[in-house]
Amino acid sequence: MKTIRWGMIGCGSVTEVKSGPAFNKAPHSKLIAVMRRDAEKVKQYAQRHQVPYYFTDANELIQHPEVDAIYIATPPKFHEAYAIAAMQAGKPVYVEKPMGLDVAACERMNAFSKQIGIPLVIAHYRRALPLFVEVKRLVDTKTIGDIISVRIEMLKYDSGLLDPVENWRIDPSLSGGGYFYDLAPHQLDLVFYFFGKAKSYKGMAFNKSNLYKAEDTVYGEIELENGILFKGNWCFCVDKGEETDVFEITGTKGKISFPIFGHTITLITGDKEEQIHFDPPKHNQQNFIEKIVAYLNGVGENPCSPEDALQSMRVMEAFVYGNNK
């Protein structure tokens, strides 16, 4: 297979371990260029990760003749413009989740990818992590029988990073929403990856703490096309001792429970309870990047297409902004 030479736009904390080094760890893959507007920080990042080229101008990186494909790791506000610029240059794009600032932006990105015929992949990388691969196997093999319902509960203590300048995740103009828009894409994508498409959905959101402009509490329900019912509850202003991270699947013969941001599956069948533990990967995105590289080399399918990611975006927008279906 051909080695894919990557250029990365955005060098924030998410790229230090989760993704950046993974481009060099994956076979037939190499990170050769990075971009950040801060000249000193991008230079330091390049030196720290042994990246040969670094830029403060995204267009220079996109147009660099040695760069084959573009990874976008900026706040969502900038995803659309960078993705379209990269695709215009004929270069496949791998973009962080959430896919874009809103559904309209994501639909434009998807339409442009289809029109121009350049691949676009969305970073729902939990699909390739061993824990979630095993959950999908347990579901597909009907280890707990036919699935009846799915429940997500995520309650988190606010860490105190309340300045939107320092913490773009709580500024809807940059992120699309609050912490829900940052964390729920992982969870909702897995709902659709495990169980299929949504038939209908509705939700509501509140700002309970009034600490910032974005929502901090979200409730939502989904009826999936196969009749499975989903309920979700997210709150990002609970006391530290009340934090919860639960993804629970109930079937006719048992239950599967696991955290999205943890490493153990609890499997209950009959009167038997089993704990299945997974060691945390050093680089969360490496397995997924390997799938992307294979896809770009004509081996296998897109590991997360724009259409896949749009399902989560539409549901999030409905829950937060009332665009219920």
- C-alpha span between 238 and 156 (Å, rounded): 6
DSSP, collapsed to helix, strand or coil, labels residue 174 as: helix
pLDDT in tens, 275-296: 999 998 999 999 999 999 999 9
DSSP string for 22-86 = HHHHSTTEEEEEEE-SSHHHHHHHHHHTT-SEEES-HHHHHH-TT--EEEE-S-GGGHHHHHHHH
Look at 2-6, 14-18, 306-310 and tell me which has the smallest mean pLDDT. 14-18
Confidence of residue 167 (pLDDT cuts 50, 70, 90): confident
- C-alpha span between 55 and 34 (Å, rounded): 6
Confidence of residue 107 (pLDDT cuts 50, 70, 90): very high
Residue 268 has pLDDT above 70, yes or no: yes
Backbone region of residue 277 per phi and psi (left: phi > 0; alpha: psi in -120 to 50; beta: other values): beta
| pLDDT > 90 in the chain, percent | 90
Confidence of residue 240 (pLDDT cuts 50, 70, 90): confident
Residue 32 has pLDDT above 70, yes or no: yes
What is residue 322's predicted lDDT score, i.e. its pLDDT?
86
Ordered strands of the 4-9 beta sheet: 53-55, 29-35, 4-9, 69-72, 93-95, 120-122
- C-alpha span between 76 and 183 (Å, rounded): 13
* Consecutive H or E run containing 115: helix 103-116
Task: Quote the mean pLDDT of the chain.
Answer: 95
Q: Let me know how many helices (H) and strands (E) the chain has, helices first.
A: 10, 14
Across the range 120-126, mean pLDDT stands at 98
What is residue 214's predicted lDDT score, i.e. its pLDDT?
92
What is residue 166's predicted lDDT score, i.e. its pLDDT?
67
Across the range 261-271, mean pLDDT stands at 95
Task: Give the 3-state secondary structure percentages of the chain, helix then strand then coil, rounded to 5.
Answer: 35, 25, 40
What is residue 145's predicted lDDT score, i.e. its pLDDT?
98
Across the range 269-278, mean pLDDT stands at 96
What is residue 49's predicted lDDT score, i.e. its pLDDT?
96
What is residue 161's predicted lDDT score, i.e. its pLDDT?
61
Q: Which domains does the chain have, with CATH numbers?
A: 4-123 (3.40.50.720), 130-280 (3.30.360.10)
Name the pairing type of β-strands 93-95 and 120-122.
parallel
What is residue 211's predicted lDDT score, i.e. its pLDDT?
87
Across the range 254-271, mean pLDDT stands at 96
Across the range 102-123, mean pLDDT stands at 98
> CA of 152: how far to CAs of 218, 224, 307, in Å?
11, 15, 23
Residue 94 has pLDDT above 80, yes or no: yes
